Structure 1
Amino acid sequence: MSQVIETPAKTIDLKGRMSIYQPEQEGLIFPEFPSFSNHAEHRRHLKERLVGACRAFALQGFDYGFAGHLTVRDPEHPELYWTNPMAVHFSQVKVSNLILADHEGRVVEGKYAINRAGFVLHAAVHEAHPDIVAMCHAHTVYGTAFASLGKKLDPISQDAAAFYEDHVVIGDEAGQVAVEVKAGHKVADAFKGVKAAIHQNHGLLTASRHSIESAAFWFIALERCCQQQLMIEATGAKPRLVPEDKARYSREHVGSDYIGWLHFQTIWDQLVNTQPDMFD
């Protein structure tokens, strides 16, 4: 049998751009990350995008009672984070009902209570990793099902390759509801240098060092990848995996925080045009 020799993927010269997807040609319409003149302006932007992420989760059918929590770090007070209110459906989250909490789970702004599980997991990750600005978790159908297998995603596609060597499986506290502080610490330990985690017998978590939009999109993408792998495994056929070098190459170009942010812009534009009440 002849040996197959893999050719290393070539590195692309981005010419100072964040991504190959940014146009070199000037004057074309393309999403640009905004700049802010003060903390209040930045805060309003973050709160609106947090609401957008919640509404996107509603569109995806990620609701499950009061389960699910999304957070983004405050730009002026990084020890505080904005999150969706407890027991409010994702589709009903709006700027006016968001809450601001500290790492102790105390609500410092807002009228609603905080989700205890959200506080335990997210606060621990935010506190342990000052570079992580946003985090997402929800009890989804496919992510929860895949989490029962206690294994990582395989690089079965270009989309799945975005998570190659960039996600972990957390086996500790598997299936036990995360209401104790120690559970949060174990999740925080797992988020060193990765954007996603599969919490065994629990579900999916994503984090971003860039934006809430990125964390939200990669959560949507991770759920989709779990669904695809479960569908393939159900056939009993063994898929042909993306080779390691090509999986890393794809991850580099389609798996970054910036790409997650860029993907979310299509969702954001749809929400702005169809759900103006989210700004109330």
Structure 2
Amino acid sequence: MANRRIDLRPPTFDSVEAERLHRKERLAAALRVFALHGYEDGVAGHISTRDPEHRDQFWINPVGMPFSLVQVSDLILVDDRGEVVSGDHQTHEAPFSIHSAIYRARNDIQAAAHSHSIHGRALSSLGEPVEPITQDSCAFYGDQGYLDDYTGVVLDEAEGKRLAAALGEAKAVILRNHGLLTVGASVDAATWWFISMERSCQAQLLAKAAGEPIRIDDQNAARTHQQLGSEYVGWLNFQPIYRDIVSRQPDLLE
């Protein structure tokens, strides 16, 4: 019988190789989850994780491969010059410029997720943040940046630096007229924050279309952020999603 025990503690590792494999498995699973949620839009969108040994390098999905087909063996390792140092596929300027700048600016994060989800794109065009109008959206209270400019596709180092500066020390950033980007100390957390932020954007758009939402006051929004906005909570919320996708699509681990 398969082990059905649920461990509610983030894993520890005996070797760099074990930690690298774990991060890659979570990354492949996250991409499959994005496919199920409809976050894929052509070749736009990417999730990455920093290599645990070579911290100036990161693993990322190959450009042109559907999220729904990505396996661990398909992931590519990119260095700080944008060169593929491991893997049989290619990347391009946009994911390299975005992710490399974030990892340079934020030594505390191990993963970043960006895609052109429909509700994130819609809210990004309104010039407003995710507001504390639901319990779940309070996870982003005081913990989101806003890139208040649009100058085209992020294709160079300068644009990547602007994006990283807009993110600051937050877990998420809204890119005006573009979409969402989230980060975390694990692939699990970064992926969950993206899912949660996209849902919060959807709830906000629906609420404003129906009337005037009642905003949670600052004191309670801040307290709820402390309860729901930690790295551990982000990691924890991804665990049932990971178990579900692996049980249904075990080939992603190949």
- Which bracket does the TM-score occupy, shorter chain normalised? over 0.9
Partner residue of 1:215? 190
Letter in 2 for 1:253: Q
Cα distance between partner residues in 2 of 1:279 and 1:154: 37
Partner residue of 1:17? none
Cα distance between partner residues in 1 of 2:248 and 2:90: 28
Provide the secondary structure at the position in 1 that maps to 2:78.
strand
> Retained in 2: the 8 A contact 1:144–1:202?
yes
**How far is the alpha carbon of 1:152 from its aligned partner?**
0.8
> Retained in 2: the 8 A contact 1:162–1:254?
yes
**How far is the alpha carbon of 1:133 from its aligned partner?**
1.1
Cα distance between partner residues in 1 of 2:222 and 2:92: 36
Identical counterparts, % of pairs = 42
**Do the aligned partners of residues 175 and 148 (structure 1) sit closer, same or farther apart at CA in structure 2, a change above 3 Å counting?**
farther
Aligned equivalent of 1:38, options 15, 28, 50: 15
Q: Deviations over 1:29-70 (max 9, x none)?
A: 542211111111111000000111111101111010011011
| TM-score, structure 2 as length reference | 0.96
Q: Which runs of 5+ in 1 are unaligned?
A: 1-27
**TM alignment of 1:3-152, pairs within 5 A:** 29-152=6-129
> Retained in 2: the 8 A contact 1:93–1:278?
yes
Please, what is the CA RMSD of the aligned residues?
1.2
Q: Deviations over 1:219-271 (max 9, x none)?
A: 00000000110111112x21111110110111101111111110000101101
2:171 paired with 1:198: no
Letter in 2 for 1:250: T
Letter in 1 for 2:202: Q
**How far is the alpha carbon of 1:116 from its aligned partner?**
1.8
2:253 paired with 1:276: no
> Retained in 2: the 8 A contact 1:103–1:124?
no
> Retained in 2: the 8 A contact 1:175–1:200?
no
Q: Deviations over 1:108-155 (max 9, x none)?
A: 000111132111111111012221211000011110011001111110
**How far is the alpha carbon of 1:186 from its aligned partner?**
0.3
Aligned equivalent of 2:133, options 150, 156, 180: 156
Q: Deviations over 1:65-107 (max 9, x none)?
A: 0110111001111111000011111111110110000121111
Cα distance between partner residues in 2 of 1:185 and 1:175: 13
Cα distance between partner residues in 2 of 1:214 and 1:166: 14
**How far is the alpha carbon of 1:175 from its aligned partner?**
5.3
Cα distance between partner residues in 1 of 2:145 and 2:54: 29
Partner residue of 1:240? 214
> Retained in 2: the 8 A contact 1:69–1:115?
no
Cα distance between partner residues in 2 of 1:59 and 1:139: 14
Q: Deviations over 1:143-199 (max 9, x none)?
A: 001100111111001001110000011013x15111122110001112222000000
Q: Which has the higher helix share?
A: 2
Paired residues in the alignment total 250
**TM alignment of 1:159-178, pairs within 5 A:** 159-172=136-149, 174=150, 176-178=152-154
| TM-score, structure 1 as length reference | 0.87
Cα distance between partner residues in 1 of 2:15 and 2:237: 26
> Retained in 2: the 8 A contact 1:175–1:202?
no
Cα distance between partner residues in 1 of 2:233 and 2:223: 14
Cα distance between partner residues in 2 of 1:30 and 1:105: 37
**How far is the alpha carbon of 1:200 from its aligned partner?**
0.1
Provide the secondary structure at the position in 1 that maps to 2:140.
coil
Aligned equivalent of 1:265, options 236, 239, 247: 239
Letter in 2 for 1:105: G
Which has more radius of gyration? Answer: 1
